[in-house]
Amino acid sequence: MLIREVMHLNPISISPETSLSDTYNLMNDNNIRHLPIIKNDLLVGIVSDRDVRLATSKFAKTSYEPGTMISEIMSHPVETTRPSEPIEVAIQTMRQFKIGCLPVLDDYKLVGIVTVANLLDAMLLMTGVHYPSGRLDVRLKDRAGEIAKLTKLIADRNINIHSILSYPDANGKLRVVFRVSTMEIRPLAKAICNADFEVLWPIQASCVE
Protein backbone atom coordinates (compact mmCIF):
# COMPACT_ATOMS: atom_id res chain seq x y z
CA MET A 1 0.00 0.00 0.00
CA LEU A 2 1.33 3.42 -0.94
CA ILE A 3 1.13 6.76 0.83
CA ARG A 4 -1.06 8.23 -1.93
CA GLU A 5 -3.74 5.66 -1.10
CA VAL A 6 -4.03 6.69 2.54
CA MET A 7 -3.01 10.37 2.77
CA HIS A 8 -5.22 13.39 3.39
CA LEU A 9 -5.36 15.52 0.24
CA ASN A 10 -4.88 19.31 0.23
CA PRO A 11 -4.05 19.78 3.89
CA ILE A 12 -4.59 23.10 5.63
CA SER A 13 -1.31 25.02 5.97
CA ILE A 14 -0.17 28.33 7.48
CA SER A 15 2.49 30.97 6.84
CA PRO A 16 5.49 31.50 9.15
CA GLU A 17 4.00 34.83 10.28
CA THR A 18 0.84 33.24 11.71
CA SER A 19 0.47 33.98 15.43
CA LEU A 20 0.43 31.25 18.07
CA SER A 21 -3.17 32.05 19.01
CA ASP A 22 -4.39 31.92 15.37
CA THR A 23 -2.57 28.61 14.92
CA TYR A 24 -4.16 27.21 18.05
CA ASN A 25 -7.65 28.29 17.01
CA LEU A 26 -7.21 26.91 13.49
CA MET A 27 -6.33 23.50 14.95
CA ASN A 28 -9.25 23.59 17.34
CA ASP A 29 -11.79 24.67 14.71
CA ASN A 30 -10.72 21.95 12.28
CA ASN A 31 -10.15 19.26 14.89
CA ILE A 32 -6.58 18.62 13.73
CA ARG A 33 -3.24 18.28 15.48
CA HIS A 34 -0.63 19.23 12.85
CA LEU A 35 -0.10 22.22 10.56
CA PRO A 36 2.57 22.41 7.84
CA ILE A 37 4.14 25.87 7.40
CA ILE A 38 4.58 27.13 3.85
CA LYS A 39 6.62 30.06 2.51
CA ASN A 40 6.82 30.82 -1.23
CA ASP A 41 5.21 27.46 -2.00
CA LEU A 42 7.90 25.60 -0.07
CA LEU A 43 7.53 23.63 3.16
CA VAL A 44 9.63 25.41 5.79
CA GLY A 45 8.38 23.91 9.04
CA ILE A 46 5.74 21.98 10.93
CA VAL A 47 3.96 22.52 14.21
CA SER A 48 1.88 20.22 16.40
CA ASP A 49 -0.79 21.15 18.94
CA ARG A 50 1.64 19.95 21.60
CA ASP A 51 4.29 22.42 20.37
CA VAL A 52 1.79 25.28 20.68
CA ARG A 53 0.57 24.25 24.12
CA LEU A 54 4.12 23.80 25.44
CA ALA A 55 5.28 27.13 23.99
CA THR A 56 2.58 28.99 25.90
CA SER A 57 2.67 26.88 29.07
CA LYS A 58 3.65 28.37 32.42
CA PHE A 59 5.74 25.23 32.91
CA ALA A 60 7.95 25.99 29.89
CA LYS A 61 11.39 27.62 30.36
CA THR A 62 10.45 30.30 27.87
CA SER A 63 6.76 31.05 27.77
CA TYR A 64 5.76 32.81 24.55
CA GLU A 65 3.05 35.42 24.18
CA PRO A 66 -0.05 34.42 22.13
CA GLY A 67 0.92 36.95 19.42
CA THR A 68 4.33 35.38 18.74
CA MET A 69 4.94 34.26 15.14
CA ILE A 70 4.83 30.51 14.57
CA SER A 71 8.27 30.60 12.92
CA GLU A 72 9.72 31.14 16.42
CA ILE A 73 8.65 27.71 17.63
CA MET A 74 8.11 25.56 14.52
CA SER A 75 10.17 22.39 13.92
CA HIS A 76 12.50 22.39 10.92
CA PRO A 77 13.84 20.82 8.82
CA VAL A 78 10.81 18.60 8.42
CA GLU A 79 10.70 14.82 7.97
CA THR A 80 8.57 14.15 4.88
CA THR A 81 7.39 11.40 2.58
CA ARG A 82 6.30 11.18 -1.08
CA PRO A 83 3.07 9.81 -2.63
CA SER A 84 4.77 6.74 -4.11
CA GLU A 85 6.44 5.62 -0.86
CA PRO A 86 5.16 2.32 0.63
CA ILE A 87 3.41 2.91 3.94
CA GLU A 88 5.74 0.54 5.81
CA VAL A 89 8.64 2.93 5.14
CA ALA A 90 6.63 5.92 6.38
CA ILE A 91 5.62 3.99 9.51
CA GLN A 92 9.26 3.22 10.30
CA THR A 93 10.22 6.88 9.83
CA MET A 94 7.48 8.01 12.19
CA ARG A 95 8.41 5.39 14.78
CA GLN A 96 12.13 6.26 14.59
CA PHE A 97 11.63 10.02 15.00
CA LYS A 98 8.68 9.56 17.38
CA ILE A 99 6.47 11.87 15.34
CA GLY A 100 2.76 11.74 14.58
CA CYS A 101 2.62 12.92 10.97
CA LEU A 102 4.54 13.30 7.73
CA PRO A 103 3.79 15.99 5.14
CA VAL A 104 3.68 14.46 1.64
CA LEU A 105 5.80 16.30 -0.95
CA ASP A 106 5.69 15.87 -4.70
CA ASP A 107 8.41 17.81 -6.54
CA TYR A 108 8.85 20.06 -3.44
CA LYS A 109 5.13 20.86 -3.41
CA LEU A 110 2.94 19.93 -0.45
CA VAL A 111 0.22 17.60 -1.81
CA GLY A 112 -0.94 15.82 1.34
CA ILE A 113 -0.34 14.80 4.89
CA VAL A 114 -0.32 11.37 6.49
CA THR A 115 -0.96 10.85 10.20
CA VAL A 116 -0.99 7.92 12.63
CA ALA A 117 -4.79 7.80 12.24
CA ASN A 118 -4.48 7.29 8.45
CA LEU A 119 -2.04 4.46 9.00
CA LEU A 120 -4.30 2.77 11.55
CA ASP A 121 -7.17 2.99 9.04
CA ALA A 122 -4.88 1.40 6.43
CA MET A 123 -4.02 -1.39 8.83
CA LEU A 124 -7.73 -1.98 9.52
CA LEU A 125 -8.43 -2.14 5.79
CA MET A 126 -5.74 -4.81 5.41
CA THR A 127 -7.42 -7.01 8.03
CA GLY A 128 -10.49 -7.26 5.77
CA VAL A 129 -12.99 -6.55 8.54
CA HIS A 130 -15.04 -4.20 6.40
CA TYR A 131 -16.67 -7.02 4.43
CA PRO A 132 -19.08 -9.59 5.92
CA SER A 133 -16.78 -12.53 6.47
CA GLY A 134 -15.51 -15.17 8.86
CA ARG A 135 -12.00 -15.51 10.25
CA LEU A 136 -9.74 -18.46 9.58
CA ASP A 137 -6.48 -18.54 11.51
CA VAL A 138 -3.76 -21.02 10.50
CA ARG A 139 -0.09 -21.67 11.27
CA LEU A 140 1.90 -22.64 8.18
CA LYS A 141 5.35 -23.98 7.47
CA ASP A 142 7.27 -21.06 5.99
CA ARG A 143 8.09 -22.64 2.63
CA ALA A 144 7.07 -22.57 -1.02
CA GLY A 145 3.61 -23.84 -1.95
CA GLU A 146 1.95 -23.91 1.49
CA ILE A 147 -0.41 -20.98 0.90
CA ALA A 148 -1.14 -22.26 -2.62
CA LYS A 149 -2.24 -25.65 -1.26
CA LEU A 150 -4.42 -24.00 1.36
CA THR A 151 -6.08 -21.47 -0.94
CA LYS A 152 -6.86 -24.23 -3.44
CA LEU A 153 -8.82 -26.04 -0.71
CA ILE A 154 -10.80 -22.85 -0.12
CA ALA A 155 -11.30 -22.18 -3.83
CA ASP A 156 -12.53 -25.72 -4.47
CA ARG A 157 -15.40 -25.00 -2.09
CA ASN A 158 -16.35 -21.88 -4.06
CA ILE A 159 -15.52 -19.62 -1.10
CA ASN A 160 -14.10 -16.17 -1.76
CA ILE A 161 -11.10 -14.91 0.23
CA HIS A 162 -11.46 -11.21 1.09
CA SER A 163 -8.10 -10.71 2.73
CA ILE A 164 -4.95 -12.52 3.75
CA LEU A 165 -2.87 -11.14 6.59
CA SER A 166 0.34 -12.85 7.61
CA TYR A 167 3.08 -12.38 10.17
CA PRO A 168 6.04 -14.37 11.47
CA ASP A 169 5.24 -16.79 14.30
CA ALA A 170 7.49 -18.70 16.70
CA ASN A 171 9.77 -21.53 15.42
CA GLY A 172 10.12 -20.00 11.98
CA LYS A 173 6.49 -20.62 11.11
CA LEU A 174 4.08 -18.26 9.43
CA ARG A 175 0.80 -17.14 10.97
CA VAL A 176 -1.85 -16.46 8.33
CA VAL A 177 -5.27 -14.96 8.98
CA PHE A 178 -7.80 -15.29 6.16
CA ARG A 179 -11.13 -13.48 6.01
CA VAL A 180 -13.45 -15.67 3.99
CA SER A 181 -16.99 -15.04 2.81
CA THR A 182 -18.69 -17.97 4.47
CA MET A 183 -20.86 -18.77 7.46
CA GLU A 184 -19.69 -22.39 7.19
CA ILE A 185 -16.24 -21.83 8.59
CA ARG A 186 -16.24 -24.96 10.73
CA PRO A 187 -16.67 -27.52 7.93
CA LEU A 188 -14.02 -25.56 6.02
CA ALA A 189 -11.67 -25.67 9.01
CA LYS A 190 -12.23 -29.40 9.33
CA ALA A 191 -11.31 -29.99 5.69
CA ILE A 192 -8.17 -27.88 6.12
CA CYS A 193 -7.31 -29.74 9.30
CA ASN A 194 -7.73 -33.08 7.51
CA ALA A 195 -5.29 -31.85 4.89
CA ASP A 196 -2.69 -31.62 7.70
CA PHE A 197 -2.72 -27.89 8.25
CA GLU A 198 -2.58 -26.48 11.78
CA VAL A 199 -5.85 -24.59 12.30
CA LEU A 200 -5.85 -22.20 15.28
CA TRP A 201 -9.38 -20.85 14.76
CA PRO A 202 -12.10 -22.09 14.68
CA ILE A 203 -11.19 -24.64 17.33
CA GLN A 204 -13.14 -27.87 17.42
CA ALA A 205 -15.65 -27.95 20.28
CA SER A 206 -16.09 -31.06 22.38
CA CYS A 207 -19.88 -31.05 22.42
CA VAL A 208 -22.13 -34.06 22.45
CA GLU A 209 -25.58 -34.05 20.92
Partner 1 sequence: MCRVIYNPKYSMYNLGELHPFSPRRVEMLIELLKEWNVYKEPIEPNAINPVELEAIHDSKYIDAIEQVSSGAVLNGIDIFGLGNSDNPISLGMAEGARYQVGGTVLGAKLLIENKAKKVLQLGGGFHHAHHNLASGFCLYNDLSMAITEMVNHGWHVAYLDIDVHHGDGVQEMFYSNGNVMTISIHESGEYLFPGKGWLHELGQGSGRSLKLNIPLEPFSEGDSYFEVLEKVVKPALSWFKPDALVVQAGADAHFADPLADNLLTTHDYEKIFRQIIDYADKSCNGKVLFTLGGGYSSTATPRIWALLYLILNNLEMPEYLPENWKNHWEQILGKTIPNTLHDKLPAYEIIPRRDEILKINKDVIRRLMDSVSQYWI
| Binding-site ranges for partner 1 (CB under 8 A) | 128-129, 131-135, 157-160, 179, 181-187, 201-202, 205-209
- Please tell me the distance from the alpha carbon of residue 8 to that of residue 173, in angstroms, as a whole number: 37
Closest approach, Cβ 209 to partner 1, in A, equals: 4
In the chain, the amino acid numbered 198 is E
Based on CB atoms, which residue is closest to partner 1, 12 or 125? Answer: 125
Based on CB atoms, which residue is closest to partner 1, 31 or 206? Answer: 206
Based on CB atoms, which residue is closest to partner 1, 89 or 155? Answer: 155
Give kind and range of the element (H or E) at residue 193.
helix 185-194
Closest approach, Cβ 2 to partner 1, in A, equals: 25
Based on CB atoms, which residue is closest to partner 1, 90 or 159? Answer: 159
Q: Are 50 and 5 in contact (CB under 8 A)?
A: no
Closest approach, Cβ 128 to partner 1, in A, equals: 8
Closest approach, Cβ 83 to partner 1, in A, equals: 28
Based on CB atoms, which residue is closest to partner 1, 60 or 203? Answer: 203
> How far, in Å, are 77, 168, 174, 175 from residue 144 at the CA level?
45, 15, 12, 15
Closest by CA to 64, choosing from 7, 101, 91, 24, is: 24
Give the Cβ contact number of residue 187 at 10 Å: 10
Closest by CA to 138, choosing from 57, 72, 192, is: 192
Closest approach, Cβ 179 to partner 1, in A, equals: 7
Closest by CA to 46, choosing from 117, 101, 116, 123, is: 101
